[in-house]
Structure 1
Amino acid sequence: MTATLNQLTPNKHARILSVGAFRPSNLVTNDDLVEAIDSSDEWIRQRTGIITRQRADAETSVLDMAEGAAREALANAGIEASQLGAVIVSTVTFPFATPSAAAALSGRIGASPAPAFDISAACAGYCYGVAQADALVRSGMAEYVLVVGVEKLSDFIDSTERTISFLLGDGAGAVVIGKSEVPGISPSVWGSEGEKWDTISMTNSLLDLRTLALAAEANPGEKAIAAEGTEKLWPTLRQDGPSVFRWAVWEMAKVAKKALDDAGITSDDLAAFLPHQANMRIIDEMVKQLKIPETVVVARDIAESGNTSAASIPLAMHRVLKENPELSGELALQIGFGAGLVFGAQVVVLP
């Protein structure tokens, strides 16, 4: 007779229990950047809506930022790291292919032996992480899951590059996801358009190492070690701006609409809209296409924080709730999209 395998006891629903954030202290204005790209503060504001962006110093690592956001999220959830059933980190700027940032973070915060893994989905990475955490909690594989979006994009910037360098900031946002008596996370709408994978990418550039601020002694084991000489090929971010803009404006509104439909609600039911903080013009156009009412709080964290890729949505959520605490328990639509090209969206109950 064939033995019968034991099965997990599933949970019917999951929700975001808390959010945490880490914002670097270095404030970089448009005026700090314009000379290198032969531009102006006015040009950057008109094209992107960015006034400032926050960037980490050489002594602050990807793990430092992830840890800061994670500890706040855990404290706000009222749980210990040892209770986590999984640690998920979404990032494209951890300087190691292996081991993962999640494994290192798990050790730092005391989450071992929880499984830990990274997601490389750029600006959609956080939404991908939420989809994974939702499934883990509802399946019964984990009681609590930590999802962190973290980027130190300043390590991968060519300051003279005009397509993306002036957009980028650093930071980390984290959420704890656990079981719920009522639906707290809608079905995820996610996917990719891989034929457009090279519209946003890292390309090796010949850079003056002194401009990278990557001193190995600042963070042993995490910083890139400079080779002999003053110049070296270094991966830097670039994008086909017009193509990305058109894709984000026209295609992502469709994804956001499907997320609303799959959640069984309309934009009138939302209290907040948390789009990836890529560009203020993209955000404003999505608001128009989705017919989002003026009563809905729209996250525009990009004005002060810049584009922080995988960290942008949880950072935006953190700011929205700090400025509007009455939104706790209300519905928000979140959507991430970026390099890959990849996308992900869900309607969530705000923590």
Structure 2
Amino acid sequence: MTGSRILALGHHQPSGVLTNDDLAGIVETDDAWIRSRVGIRTRHIAAPDETVDAMAAAAAAKALAAAGLAPQDIDLVLVATCTATDRSPNTAARVAARLGMAAPATMDLNVVCAGFTHALATADHALRAGAATRALVIGAEKFTDVVDWTDRTTCVLVGDGAGAAVVTACDDEAGPGIGPVLWGSVPEMGDAVRIQGEPARFAQEGQTVYRWATTQLPGIAREVCARSGIRPEDLAGVVLHQANLRIIEPFAERLGAVNAVIAKDVVDSGNTSAASVPLALSKLVERREIAPGAPVLLFAFGGNLSYAGQVVRCP
């Protein structure tokens, strides 16, 4: 095996929905203010007893069913999350236990909002190296656990949920594949997005992140495409981290993805951090908005001012 590909996707969102009008009863804000600044209408909110690993397992079970595989067929589980409350057992181990897996390697990755694309690249590398044959790659967050509900600049942003991908080793010539990753960070600006303190609370320098994302990331994304031999105008889809509609739309325009379906799940789901990319991609596939085998750019950014992107073939 010389490569890897996504076999199937799945996603899960809590049944609870928080609208902009609901938020107006919590903090000084309103629907027009929120939509004009971030483009969000609603977000899904997990119940107090709905844990990160429960949401991750629900998304993973759907991805496995779509792939026609059993939990025992998986030998690597990677979960990208920054909101798990316990250090051990990790979220990946708890997902494996919930699904009744045999003896997979289980690892959590904390790269905040860029977690899923980092985890997907890690799975790709493991499969190419022969260290695993099939992997579950999951992004799952209960971001509402770490938000300050008195801060109207951040509490309007976040939502909860999970997205999962089943990834398998393959011959690069055999079908849809995962392209080379381009990843990195801006350490000197790492505090621009943070979850810290006791209790841990999410905060950010919104204007700093906005300027960096809209000016620097399109050029990096073009290099991601170049590494896969894809021109931006040939992309069938673009799934950017769902942070803010005012970042997503200018990013796609500056990238030059003129023929691509642009994921805008942020409107209905809010910012779900590491869950946002697989959640948005899974919905596009479920709605059949992108043809199987078509090239899709996945690109995420966030805490640490980390970023990672790759071009994948749509399952």
Tell me which interval the TM-score lies in, with the shorter structure as reference length. over 0.9
* Deviations 1:21-65, CA, capped at 9 Å, x for gaps: 001111100111124331211010011010001111112111110
TM-score (norm 2): 0.96
1:33 paired residue among 23, 28, 35 = 23
Once residues 104 and 73 of structure 2 are traced to their aligned partners in structure 1, the CA distance between those partners, rounded to angstroms, is 9
- What amino acid maps onto 1:15 in structure 2? R
Name 1:83's counterpart in structure 2. 73
Given the alignment of the two structures, is residue 62 of structure 1 paired with residue 26 of structure 2, yes or no? no
1:306 paired residue among 270, 275, 278 = 270
- What amino acid maps onto 2:88 in structure 1? T
Gaps of 5+ in 1: 1-10, 205-232
Pairing of 1:142-153 with structure 2 (within 5 A): 142-153=132-143
Quote the sequence identity (%). Answer: 38
Name 1:280's counterpart in structure 2. 245
2:177 paired residue among 176, 180, 184 = 184
Name 1:220's counterpart in structure 2. none
Deviation at 1:203, TM superposition (A): 3.7
* Deviations 1:142-186, CA, capped at 9 Å, x for gaps: 110100000001111111113322100000000011022336111
- What amino acid maps onto 2:186 in structure 1? E
Name 1:237's counterpart in structure 2. 202
> For this pair of structures, how many residues does the alignment match?
312
Gaps of 5+ in 2: none
Name 1:345's counterpart in structure 2. 309
**Does the Cα contact within 8 Å between 2:23 and 2:156 map onto a contact in 1?**
yes
TM-score (norm 1): 0.86
Once residues 39 and 12 of structure 1 are traced to their aligned partners in structure 2, the CA distance between those partners, rounded to angstroms, is 52
2:40 paired residue among 31, 50, 67 = 50
Name 1:215's counterpart in structure 2. none
Pick which of 66-75 and 183-192 moved more: 183-192
Pairing of 1:131-210 with structure 2 (within 5 A): 131-181=121-171, 182=173, 184-204=177-197
**Does the Cα contact within 8 Å between 1:122 and 1:309 map onto a contact in 2?**
yes
Pick which of 179-188 and 52-61 moved more: 179-188
Given the alignment of the two structures, is residue 114 of structure 1 paired with residue 114 of structure 2, yes or no? no
Q: 1:326 to 1:189 in 2, by over 3 A?
A: closer
Tell me the secondary structure at the aligned position of residue 147 of structure 1.
strand
RMSD: 1.2
Once residues 26 and 191 of structure 2 are traced to their aligned partners in structure 1, the CA distance between those partners, rounded to angstroms, is 25
Deviation at 1:325, TM superposition (A): 5.1
**Does the Cα contact within 8 Å between 1:33 and 1:159 map onto a contact in 2?**
no
